[in-house]
Structure 1
Amino acid sequence: MTAPEPGTDGQSVRPRMAQHYSVAPEPDAPEGYVAPGMPGAPVAGYDPVPDPAEPPAGRRRRPRRRTGLAVALSLTAMLIGALAYGAALSRAASSIGWLAIALAAAVAWPLGRIGGPNRALPPLGALLSVGGLLLGQLLGQTLRLHRLAGTPYGDLLGDALRIWRADRHPVDLAFYGIALIGGFLLTRRTAATD
């Protein structure tokens, strides 16, 4: 008995042989599709899904960081904050050391926002915050002595430093700690919000 030929009424019982093409068959995938893991570049007409982390076309990936400008603005904020803190301290009857957090925020904002995520800026923010607090306290003592004694400011600086040393309380260390930690953390946090 012989097997029927294909195309006749019955099926062929011979196993199906591999088909060879002289031209590749049409793919079942859309034009330009490259299967994951397969080498090749997309062809024209292929519209990839945009990466959500990538900015839209025409925008820069990251803003430029200006560390020098950030340090200059932070120094200016420290001096202005020290002047304001010293003026308030000379008029206050009690300690206003809790304003150290405002001074730390004024110093930390330009460092973090303009300077960006630079590792050297948070320690610098901490030091500038403590320096602003120290300058503000010395200025407050100088203004208080000038108001009481009426002598020129240049002569009062040495006296103000001696009075500042003698007038330290344990709670003042807490205010310096607030300025130190606040300056560090606020600088790092404002740099991270970009």
Structure 2
Amino acid sequence: MTAPIPGADGQSAQPPAAQHYTVAALPPPPEGYIAPGMPGTPVPDAPTRRRAAPRHRPTTAILTALLATLLGGLAYGFAPLRAADTLGWLAIALAGLIALPLGRLGGPSRALPPLGALLAATALLLGQLTQHLRQVHADGPGPAGLLHDTLATWHADLRPLDLAFYAIALIGGHLLTHRTAARP
């Protein structure tokens, strides 16, 4: 394709003259009309990507929380025996370990936060019993038997601070389950 050369086809090299058109007056806008972009104009909602609603599986949540209770209690119980006095504060970690799958998988159910509290206290109890079982096994069981000696040493070793740890596990299990279930 070639560009035309001015003057080659009989046209002059001067720019074309401006042409004038007349425009009819616009009709007045209807009453209450606000032009787009003016103050007071409603802004359309931005298109958002809709996420699929999470499927809540309470049975899977409870089974996972039971497994977390067992594993958390055993991990608590198999900690070094010399650190047994400082482990009570890990009750909140046990509560979080149980509450996370229970709340996330189970969803906002009224039955799950109390279950999370009971499972957190159960994990703490299982951990303490495992510690005492290890201690009795290391010392050698008495004539009454391993289980009886374990429960007797656990009962004799209970302190008021242990009750505080159970309270921390109960409250933490309930609150953390409730908060993880309510989170989007």
Would you say same fold, with TM above 0.5? yes
Partner of 1:133: 124
Q: Tell which deviates more after alignment, 155-164 or 135-144.
A: 155-164
Cα displacement (A) at 1:192 = 1.3
Q: Does 1:116 align with 2:92?
A: no
Distance in 2 (CA, whole Å) between partners of 1:138 and 1:106 is 19
How many residues were matched structurally? 143
Runs of 5+ unmatched residues, structure 2 = 1-28, 34-42
Which of structures 1 and 2 has the larger relative contact order (alpha carbons within 8 angstroms, sep 6+)?
Answer: 2
Cα displacement (A) at 1:92 = 2.4
136 and 93 in structure 1: CA distance in 2 versus 1, 3 angstrom threshold: closer
Q: Residue by residue, what CA displacement relative to the aligned partner does 1:97-119 show, whole Å, maximum 9, x if unpaired?
A: 10101111101000111111111
Percent of matched pairs sharing the same residue: 55
1:88 equivalent among 58, 76, 79: 79
Partner of 1:184: 174
Partner of 1:56: 49
Three-state SS of the structure 2 residue aligned to 1:88 is: coil
Aligned-residue CA RMSD in angstroms? 2.3
**Alpha-carbon contact 1:113-1:191 (below 8 Å) kept:** yes
177 and 89 in structure 1: CA distance in 2 versus 1, 3 angstrom threshold: farther
Cα displacement (A) at 1:90 = 3.2
Cα displacement (A) at 1:91 = 4.4
Partner of 1:159: 149
95 and 164 in structure 1: CA distance in 2 versus 1, 3 angstrom threshold: farther
114 and 142 in structure 1: CA distance in 2 versus 1, 3 angstrom threshold: same
Cα displacement (A) at 1:95 = 4.0
Distance in 2 (CA, whole Å) between partners of 1:157 and 1:192 is 41
Three-state SS of the structure 1 residue aligned to 2:56 is: coil
Distance in 2 (CA, whole Å) between partners of 1:81 and 1:172 is 17
Distance in 2 (CA, whole Å) between partners of 1:93 and 1:187 is 26
Runs of 5+ unmatched residues, structure 1 = 1-26, 30-47
Distance in 1 (CA, whole Å) between partners of 2:162 and 2:84 is 15
